[in-house]
Chain A
């Protein structure tokens, strides 16, 4: 008999899920993924032309953050069966019994509705529509439809993660333009090599739970070739913001160097013997740094007083 059962009758009959603490609900929001979403969304807002009241800009960022987190919570609800089987995800709140699946679903749905409605009422409905579509795409298209059906899951589903800078742009301008599509493409092309690097060394986990990631279905060699192709495609797209006048020469030069390093990572992964996971792990780490640095450069490049030299006259891309 425990002391808990003496002093708090009924407490031991509570399901384990009822013991979920605030940090468990926070973990449902996938805070690490949220960091990149916030950062890329913020970059989209900074490089966009137009003005927005600072408080409304903060609300837009909040909505974007909460919306991204909400879709993560719904993703964890849907994937709870395979999460429990995989080493990388078995410590998540639902597999551990800290949060009941139905609570996670309710949490995600309520936050999704809250973020989209507040974005629409406080900022504009273009940004709200994009946010709603991004949540739908991540949950409906990627998680529920593609993830367990096709090895191209991450290619198409990766679009969901590419929306944040577009949403940030729409929050500032009230619409979509070529420049914001370019920011979308940047993350869209970055996602496959980033995620496949992870999949290369988590291959056994994915195979065990039946998720047809490319290394599981097509093998490591084919995946490595695809990764190299995507990093090569990413090179010109990463420089393109400078060609459109969104960013300056500094961004252009550094993005080329960073892009070449990304290609080099992919090349080393391709040349690594089967079974050697170190190059893939290094590439996964570098891919995160790469995207953070690119968006950090965009923010710095557009900061007041720092835009000195552009490849095209400033404002031409606006």
Chain B
């Protein structure tokens, strides 16, 4: 209980879950950009 009382806004389970998903989406987007970049370089170089 005491531990939960120290929680502020944004520390709830829902917020943590959403934060985790946001980071995952960011990671996927960055990975996608990197993949498309290298695929383009490789395909253009024949």
A residues neighboring B (CB under 8 Å): 2-4, 7-8, 11, 14, 18-22, 25, 53, 55-56, 59, 62, 118, 121-122
Task: Give the interface SS of chain A, mostly helix, strand, loop or mixed.
Answer: helix
B13 touches A121 (CB 8 A): no
In the complex formed, the residue of B with least CB distance to A24 is B17
A21 touches B17 (CB 8 A): yes
Query: What is the count of residue pairs linking A and B with beta-carbon distances less than 8 angstroms?
Result: 56
A7 touches B38 (CB 8 A): no
B1 touches A3 (CB 8 A): yes
- CB-defined contacts of B15 to chain A, threshold 8 Å: 8, 11
Q: Known contacts A19-B13, A20-B17, A22-B24: does B39 contact A7 (CB below 8 Å)?
A: no
A25 touches B21 (CB 8 A): yes
Task: Give the interface SS of chain B, mostly helix, strand, loop or mixed.
Answer: helix
- CB-defined contacts of A118 to chain B, threshold 8 Å: 35
Q: Residue-by-residue, is B4-40 near A (CB-CB < 8 Å gives 1, otherwise 0)?
A: 1101111111111110110110000000000100110
In the complex formed, the residue of A with least CB distance to B10 is A8
Q: Known contacts A21-B17, A59-B35: does B24 contact A7 (CB below 8 Å)?
A: no
Contact residue among B10, B14, B16, B38 (Cβ-Cβ distance under 8 Å from A18): B14
A19 touches B14 (CB 8 A): yes
22 pairs, A vs B, C-beta closer than 8 Å: A2-B4, A3-B1, A3-B5, A7-B7, A7-B9, A7-B11, A8-B9, A8-B11, A8-B14, A11-B12, A11-B15, A18-B14, A19-B17, A20-B21, A21-B16, A21-B17, A22-B20, A22-B21, A22-B23, A25-B24, A55-B39, A59-B39
